[in-house]
Structure formats: C-alpha cells, structure tokens
Structure 1
Amino acid sequence: MNGLSLGELCSLFCCPPCPSKIAAKLAFLPPEPTYLFISDEAGSKFSLHLTDRAEWQYTQRELDFIEVFKARTSKNNHIACAYIRCSPTAKYTLLFSHGNAVDLGQMASFYIGLGSRLNCNIFSYDYSGYGVSSGKQSEKNMYADIEAAWNSLRTRYGISPEHIILYGQSIGTVPTIDLASRYEVGAVILHSPLMSGMRVAFPETKRTWFFDAFPSIDKVPKITSPVLVIHGTEDEVIDFSHGLAIYEKCPRTVEPLWVEGAGHNDVELYGQYLERLKGFLTGDLTS
C-alpha cells in the first residue's frame, strides 16, 4: 500500500474520487515483470522462464512442477496463471492471491517452499496489468481476475470447493474476501488484511463511504467458511487494528495468529507462521 501526499489528502476531502482512483493510489505497484511465458511450436502450451530478478532458489526439477497458462476474465483480460504441484498426496490446493508489489516470478520460490512444507499444491495468478497479464490494474479487474482463477482451478483441474483454501496476502485479501463471500470453500486464510482503502488512508474512518475502495469489512460477515486471520502487531503499512476488526467480523474464525513484533513484509520469517498454518490444516480443519 502507498501513502498519500498532503495535496492528495486534501483533494480526497474536497472532491472524493471514484473507487478506482483510490485503488490506484493506495494499492497497485506492479513490478517490472520477472518472468516470461514461452509458447511451444504449436502455440498451445506455455513454459515458465524466470529472469534473474525472480531470485529463483531451486533447480530445473522444481521449475518443472509449475504449469502455466493464461485464463480469460469476464473483463476480457488474459491473466497469467500457475499451478504448482508441490505434493502428490496433497489434500488441499491453496488459491493464493499475492501482495501488491510482486508478481508470479518473484513468488515462485516461496510457493514451492510453502506448498512443500504444508503438503499442499498451490494455484496462483497475476492481476490484470501484472507480469504478463493483460489489461490495467483496477478493483473491478481484481474481482474478475480471481473469478477466472477460481473457474480455471475448478474446471481445468477438477478440484472441488471443499479442497480449495483461499489465501490472500495484503491487497490479495481484497479479491480473496470477495470470492469467499460468494462461494463456500474448504477454508480462507487472510494474511495482513485491510478493512477498506479509506481506512488505510485515513485511520480515523469509522464507516464505509460510497467512494471507498476495497470494502472488505462489509463483505467478511458473508463468509461461511472457516477463516484464519494472520497479522503482525507492528505492521507499518496496514495497521494491526485492521486484522483485529476483520477477525471480529468473520462468523467462523479459528484462533488467529498475531505475530508479536512483525511488520508487513516479514511475518513469514517467524517460526509461528508455518507452525500455525500446519495446525490450521491438520487440526482446525479436521476437528
């Protein structure tokens, strides 16, 4: 998420922008693409080529576990999708919506490591305007993007909803919450979630204004699946209070993970992160 200048703050009060403008100012920071999709001779299949900026940590063997393709959204964009087969005995597949300043290439090593440790497969995608996905970044496109990813996971791979866990991180919690409010799934993980765009820009905001973007706080009461909320207590980007509020509004939350001393981008470095995720999958979801 990004901060706003004094002039931009004033313009918000004097002339409230449309949600897409708030979204653009607060959230979307697509990096220079760190990967390419290389098509075969027939043009029907793609392979993933990572640049040095992706900082890939594994070998070609692990890279071969990643199947990539493009999915068409209802907004007529074509988004990059990746299915990472981390475990032949995986019960769950995580539908992972990543943060705002990364793309699939940068996340690839993390996905391999996470899926292998949790015994889960991972399906992820790049938002419109990120990586090799076409279109522009916008709130509406985000919702269409995750819908296309969900449909691909269901139809292309035949995975049933009860075996899908929606995982959203930071801005990725926005489409995750939207989808979870409309479909029942195996579970939902919200990592550093935000209540809404205005509440990030103006922490004293107590209600959802008509021009607000990302009104997740109004959607979480509709989630019927089990929800695990994760947040660092020293988050300097999305204040810890957002995670608390989201947790309190979800009807079916399990014990949350509040990582003492963690900021916005280092929660995964704490031992209790992986420990809690394992407990969620093998304990909370089986009891």
Structure 2
Amino acid sequence: AMATLSFPDLCRLFCCPPCPSHIAAKLAFIPPDPTYSVMPDETGNKYLLHLTDRAEWQYTDREQQALEVFLVRTSRGNRVACMHVRELIFNPRYSVSPEHIILYGQSIGTVPTIDLAKKYECGAVILHSPLLSGLRVAFPDTKRSWCFDVFPSIEKIPKVTSPVLVIHGTEDEVIDFSHGLAIYEQCPRAVEPLWVEGAGHNDIELYSQYVERLRQFIHSELP
C-alpha cells in the first residue's frame, strides 16, 4: 500500500500530526485499492456488483444472481455499500424431523450440542472430547457447580433423552479424560463409549476405532 501513496498522502501520513502513535494508527488503516465497483443497473432501481481483475474471488453468473447489492446512507451523509448473499445453508428450516438428525459436538462444541439436545429430542448425540464446565477445565479441582460457572454441561446432560455416544482420548492434554467419563456416567441413555487409549485432544480421528465406532453406532445401534 505504501508504494501506491501519493506525495500528499505521505505528507498527511507523517506530518499531520508527526506523532508516532498517530502515524501507526493511520498506517494500520490505509485501505487497499478497491477490487469492485457498485453500479446501477439499466432500470436504475437496483445496483450490480462489478469485480475487477484484481479481485481474489471471481463470482460465476449463478453466484452473481444470488447477490443483492444496495447502498445505505449514514446519519452523516456517507453511503456504505452492502451486499446480501442468499445462501441455502442459512435457511432456518429444512423440513427434516429431529429424529432424523444426529448432533455432533467436539471439545467446546459439545457445549451448544448438549444445550440443544436438552431442549429437543433428536435421533442421537455424539460428544467428542466433552467438558464438564468451563470452571472445571480452568480449575480441575473444582467439585461442584457455581452460579458463575460457564458452560455447565454436567448439569444439562442428565436432561438429554436421546442416545449419546461419548468419545474421549485417555491422554487428552486439553480436557482431561475424567470429563468425558463423568459426562458418560450422567447420561440417561448413554451407549457404549469410545475411550481411545493414548489419544490426545486433536488426534482421535487418526485412530481406526474412531470410524469403526461411529459406523457401528449409526448403522447398528440406532432405530
């Protein structure tokens, strides 16, 4: 960006005012050259996005049709270009019944998984390296739940009525194996767990029994 600055730009950057903190702030927020332009269409009622050759991503015609470009005027009179992307993945409804859905959560992702499974009975739940609560991860000697304890999964798991498969590595260096064991013991409908001997927090997928246990659970143990 520095190579494209004009002489007046350089003067404003280093001289107005010549304080190191101001120079660093202005240098950090030098915008790059635009890679697109927003132009009105033939009717003048809608705007179209035109990408330059410098754009890192070139949209196809089909993707262009999913874009809605518009301008928003701020209270100070500036215009901000906005883009709305219609994407099926963000559709809130897929007409799939909960009993046909398997919830899968890993590590911190087991927190919203357990919370959702507590509210809705689904086809099954898979908890990969779950944690008891945030406080118990930070302070392993914690034996009870406190009102300020974040992510209290241990308090919610007894209310999960779906079949639950718990997976945990015995040498987990991030969330101790005892977390997975305690979650398993509190599950009303826990199936045979998978304790991967010698596995850590991020390598369970590398063990052959991981895929084998998932296949058995999904194809043989669910109705």
TM-score normalized with structure 1 length: 0.49
Match of 1:243 among 174, 180, 190: 180
Q: Which protein is bigger by CA-based radius of gyration?
A: 2
Residue type of the alignment partner of 2:122: V
Match of 1:225 among 155, 162, 174: 162
Ranges in structure 1 where 5+ consecutive residues have no aligned partner: 1-35, 46-67, 71-80, 82-148
Q: CA shift at 1:37, angstroms?
A: 11
Ranges in structure 2 where 5+ consecutive residues have no aligned partner: 1-56, 69-85
Partner of 1:204: 141
Partner of 1:52: none
> Aligned to 1:230, what secondary structure does the other structure show?
strand
Contact 2:99 2:123 in 1 (8 A): yes
Residue type of the alignment partner of 1:202: F
CA distance in 2, matches of 1:37, 1:283: 45
Q: CA shift at 1:248, angstroms?
A: 0.5
CA distance in 2, matches of 1:69, 1:182: 27
Q: CA shift at 1:44, angstroms?
A: 4.5
Partner of 1:274: 211
Specify which structure has the bigger relative contact order, considering alpha-carbon pairs within 8 angstroms and separated by 6 or more residues.
1
Partner of 2:103: 166
Deviations 1:255-287 (A, max 9, x none): 00000000000000000000000000111113x
Does 2:59 match 1:41?
no
CA spacing shift, 1:159–1:201, aligned 2, 3 Å: same
Partner of 2:132: 195
Aligned residues: 148
Deviations 1:96-119 (A, max 9, x none): xxxxxxxxxxxxxxxxxxxxxxxx
Deviations 1:72-93 (A, max 9, x none): xxxxxxxxx5xxxxxxxxxxxx
CA distance in 2, matches of 1:279, 1:168: 18
Contact 2:66 2:87 in 1 (8 A): no
Match of 1:69 among 45, 64, 87: 87
CA distance in 2, matches of 1:206, 1:243: 15
| TM-align CA RMSD | 2.2
CA distance in 2, matches of 1:44, 1:277: 39
Partner of 2:198: 261
Residue type of the alignment partner of 2:133: S
CA spacing shift, 1:212–1:260, aligned 2, 3 Å: same
